[in-house]
Structure 1
Amino acid sequence: MPLNTAPVHDHLLEAAPAQVSDAQAAAIADEYFGQRGTLNRLAGERDLNFHIAHGHGDDRLLKLSHPLEDPQVVDFQTRALLRVEALAPTLAVQRVYPSLNGEHQIPITVDGQPMIARLFSFVDGVPLHRVQQRSRALRENLGDDLARLGLALKGFEHPATADHELLWDLKHASRLRNLLVYIQDREQRALVERFLDNFERHALPRQATLRAQVIHNDLNPHNVIVDAEHPDRVRNILDFGDMVHAPLVNDLGVAAAYQVGEPDAPLATACEMIAAYHRRCPLLAEEQEILADLIATRLIMTLSITAWRASLHPENRDYILRNTGHAWQAVQGLARLSREQAQEQIFAACAKQEEPRP
């Protein structure tokens, strides 16, 4: 696959958030979905999100797409969720509900801003990023659920994938070079360049030949809800807004990046997730070979894109930079390993799952 070093341009990430008041959102929820309750505005990268609390459980989430979002992309996300619900009804993923007229997507205009309104499930629990002590069982459950999600999306096709480009797509990681100027620390920038070089040398040439399909592409701790009393149990996987058609292993690379642990053994915890994924959906040898490169690339992608976006939207800086502390620690830990050492740990984790059980 050739280098994609085109200038960075993602109109949605560059654009200011849409302007919708709480009162307007409440009116939309009532008129189109028959939902009344207490609204609480939630943070989001592109869409506007409102938690509708009913006071008796069974809460909902109203999502309003950004005015610049392609309606085809919104439909892509909705159809994927409906497919997962049909093929994997017990999988803990967000559900999308029909409006009063039976449609899952309602085109609306708010103060001249064209949007699409949708209604989603809202599951009580604890966002994973707030869980300080994460168990091996949790990481294994995450790996297994991600594999199940990939299996449910296997074969799913949609016209939007033909020309849908997303800056967060690992296939386009070479574009990060245009963003490195936003990383102020020279030593940190050099570390990012080192891992980007590794991606272009080892992982990028494989991207065009690996098995590919629609993937979630964003299993970060802010997109996972766990049980408050049993935090090893996944209650909900959220936010299908970064879905792309890409190599299947990229999905695991993204997810495992957020499970990289302490600098003295950075891949130990990530390998627990990888092993569980491999048990449900076996990784091919060529996928195992580049998985460490993909993990590191997702981390440097987080650092580069968020540094750039924080400069564009200082008012949303805290939300944009929410994952950077872990990302820097993880990158520094991975830098202590040679590429061969990282590969060996992943090979061993997968091989252990293939051993006959007593």
Structure 2
Amino acid sequence: MFTPSTSASLCTTSAVALDTLLGSSLSVGFSRLNTFDALAITRRVYGIDGAATRFATEKDDTFRIDASDGARYVLKISNPGETPEELDLQVAAMRHVAAVAPDLPVPRVLPGIDGQFVVPVTSPAQPYRTARLYSYLEGMPLDALRGRAVDHYAIGEMLARLQAAMASFRHPHEHRVLAWDVKHLASLTGLQTHIADPSHRAFIAEAFARFAAIEPALRHCPAQVVHNDFNRSNIVANPSGRDFVSGIIDFGDTVHTAVAIDVATAVMNQFPLDFDADGPHDLFADARDLLRGYLAHAELSRDEVLLIPHLAMARVAARALLTSWRAMLFPENEGYILRFTRPGWEHLRWFMQRDPETVSNALL
């Protein structure tokens, strides 16, 4: 039976992980491209003409391309801080899923005129940037839906099916150190200085202590390459269609980590946004529906089920730390970066009002 340890130490990779974080694309700024730039790239690199519409994004340039022949695509221009290895990891993971599970709604990666899937588009004003072109998946972002319109069970089913497809995937860069991989939460301690509210800093300090208690158990959990960002913005939904989930997008956080972390990320992203920790609401009500859907197609040990609520808490804490830091770096994009952080403080307050054993049983 899983029991949080009271004597665990912080992860020994903290310094390495923080150095990697500070040098990653999360900290690299760039000049935003406009729709004219996007169309010039699609004409030159892909031989496609049409119209471009910008999507709101956190760290790259993304456009919908409405081609003259009626087809639709998604054009992504990388952040200058994204390395060739991590971009290849994303593309290879998507192509693997398309090959082994072609029925899964994952975008198809389309080559440029020269046959490359990741195409350099550097210029004196835009060094070290690349283009990728994906098929467009019809539907609406899950974060545009609320309440009964969301089929949480179907989301859990889709996560299990995606994990099954990715279980056989291997890549030389799959073990990269990623700030959004919750197993590295202890590496983010230096970001606490960017949390202004003293009560919020207290929540974060307690979250670190609670994570240290469960971290030894996490090391023994089954692991594989996973999506690692099954959130509201990365799930495309079609509420009136036969299949509720019509798209799984953004493989930018793909990494080899514990399966329980991937499930916990999906669980955390079902927490209600209009939540009051002192109210009668059940923080895990929608998450239990997701877990039931997941377990219809996959297995978790009892220890993993008991660990997942703590990992969901760790993901809330990581989001608070990373987004507060990034909002300081990029104040012009603060609204988008912090869009889920503010309700997250109420989620953390809910966790801190309960003892670890109660949290362990939250999904039962």
TM-score by length of 1: 0.89
**Equivalent residue letter for 1:180:** Q
Call closer, same or farther: CA 1:232–1:89 in 2, change over 3 Å. Answer: closer
Instruction: Decide whether the 8 Å contact of 1:20 with 1:110 is kept in 2.
Output: no
Instruction: Decide whether the 8 Å contact of 1:168 with 1:242 is kept in 2.
Output: yes
Instruction: Decide whether the 8 Å contact of 1:212 with 1:245 is kept in 2.
Output: yes
Query: How far apart, CA to CA, are the structure 1 residues paired with 2:242 and 2:104?
Result: 17
The structure 2 residue matched to 1:171, chosen from 180, 183, 188, is: 183
Q: Deviations over 1:28-84 (max 9, x none)?
A: 101221221111122222222111123775310111112222111111110100010
**Would you say 1:156 and 2:169 are equivalent positions?**
yes
Aligned to 1:201: 213
Aligned to 2:41: 28
- Cα deviation, residue 172, structure 1: 0.8
Aligned to 1:354: none
- Cα deviation, residue 85, structure 1: 0.6
Query: How far apart, CA to CA, are the structure 2 residues paired with 1:338 and 1:232?
Result: 39
Query: How far apart, CA to CA, are the structure 2 residues paired with 1:305 and 1:232?
Result: 34
Q: Deviations over 1:315-358 (max 9, x none)?
A: 11111111113312322233343322232242x3xxxxxxxxxx
Paired residue secondary structure (2:122): strand
Aligned to 2:331: 314
**Would you say 1:216 and 2:227 are equivalent positions?**
yes
The structure 1 residue matched to 2:78, chosen from 53, 60, 65, is: 65
Call closer, same or farther: CA 1:56–1:330 in 2, change over 3 Å. Answer: farther
Paired residue secondary structure (2:129): strand
For the aligned residue pairs, the C-alpha RMSD in angstroms reads 2.1
- Cα deviation, residue 210, structure 1: 1.7
Aligned to 2:266: 255
Query: How far apart, CA to CA, are the structure 1 residues paired with 2:13 and 2:153?
Result: 34
Paired residue secondary structure (1:161): coil
Give the 5 Å matches for 1:21-60: 21-54=34-67, 57-60=70-73
Q: Which ranges of structure 2 fall in alignment gaps of 5 or more residues? A: 1-9
Q: Deviations over 1:229-250 (max 9, x none)?
A: 4598111111100111111111
- Cα deviation, residue 251, structure 1: 0.5
Call closer, same or farther: CA 1:3–1:268 in 2, change over 3 Å. Answer: farther
Aligned to 2:98: 85
Instruction: Decide whether the 8 Å contact of 1:107 with 1:115 is kept in 2.
Output: yes
Instruction: Decide whether the 8 Å contact of 1:18 with 1:66 is kept in 2.
Output: no
Aligned to 2:6: none
Instruction: Decide whether the 8 Å contact of 2:11 with 2:187 is kept in 1.
Output: no
Call closer, same or farther: CA 1:132–1:231 in 2, change over 3 Å. Answer: farther
The structure 2 residue matched to 1:291, chosen from 277, 299, 308, is: 308
**Would you say 1:246 and 2:257 are equivalent positions?**
yes
Instruction: Decide whether the 8 Å contact of 1:18 with 1:48 is kept in 2.
Output: no
**Would you say 1:124 and 2:138 are equivalent positions?**
yes
Call closer, same or farther: CA 1:323–1:186 in 2, change over 3 Å. Answer: same
Q: Which ranges of structure 1 fall in alignment gaps of 5 or more residues? A: 349-358
Call closer, same or farther: CA 1:12–1:42 in 2, change over 3 Å. Answer: same
Q: Deviations over 1:253-308 (max 9, x none)?
A: 11110112444311121111112112211112231221111000101111111111
Q: Deviations over 1:151-179 (max 9, x none)?
A: 111021111124x2211111110122211
Q: Deviations over 1:156-213 (max 9, x none)?
A: 1111124x221111111012221112111111211122122111111x1123322111
Query: How far apart, CA to CA, are the structure 1 residues paired with 2:245 and 2:70?
Result: 19
Aligned to 2:14: 5
Q: Which runs of 4+ in 1 moved over 4 A?
A: none
Q: Percent identity, aligned pairs only?
A: 31
Aligned to 1:353: none
Query: How far apart, CA to CA, are the structure 2 residues paired with 1:77 and 1:2?
Result: 26
Query: How far apart, CA to CA, are the structure 2 residues paired with 1:205 and 1:231?
Result: 42
Query: How far apart, CA to CA, are the structure 1 residues paired with 2:143 and 2:116?
Result: 33
Query: How far apart, CA to CA, are the structure 2 residues paired with 1:134 and 1:312?
Result: 37
